[in-house]
Amino acid sequence: MIAAAAWLPWGRGVELPDAAAFAPRRILLASEGRAFTPRALDFAAGLAARGGAGVVVLSIARVWGTAFGLPHPGLMPSVRELAEQREIVAAAVAALERAGVAAHGIVIGARQPAKRIAREARRRDCDTIVMSADAPRHWLIADFMWSQEPYRVRRKSKLPVYLLVDDTAASARDRAGQEA
């Protein structure tokens, strides 16, 4: 029953191994388009150092939809959007290499990032996924928010997904909401 409920909107996905004892062979550091937080980079570098793992840095460039079920060039990521994602990936790879971790990066366009991230992790034989995340929202509205994509990855993936919530960004956003 617990495994069957993992895909539900309020499900928690695969149980996480203890990060202090977990030594993966390959790690996928993924983003649905946001910049990688220092906390996520440090966590991935720490996991990689423990097991001598390599890190694949993946960022998704958003495809905005389809036109009558067919891909349309106007809905694909623009050159500027792809360049921004490449810069994000290059910065993350450089930070990981400075920490002594072997890393390489890729940018992929996708309309459904959660599915694509989970598929890429399986395809690249990764043992775990690490992502930066916003604070979780109520499951009813979370499915309509792009910022909640890391939680969809956690539900869709058969691998453990470490979500690192940036407390400073969440508290700043909450303060801004209270002031309004």
Per-residue pLDDT for the chain (180 aa), expressed as one digit of tens each? Answer: 344 455 555 556 677 676 777 878 999 999 998 999 999 999 999 999 988 899 999 999 988 776 676 766 777 888 899 999 999 999 999 999 999 999 999 999 988 888 999 999 999 999 999 999 887 766 656 565 656 778 888 888 899 999 988 766 554 555 454 444
Architecture of the 20-142 domain: 3-Layer(aba) Sandwich (3.40)
The angle subtended at Cα 133 by Cα 55 and Cα 113, nearest 5°, is: 70
**97: nearest Cα among 55, 127, 58:** 55
Domain borders along the chain are 20-142
Output the pTM of the full model.
0.80
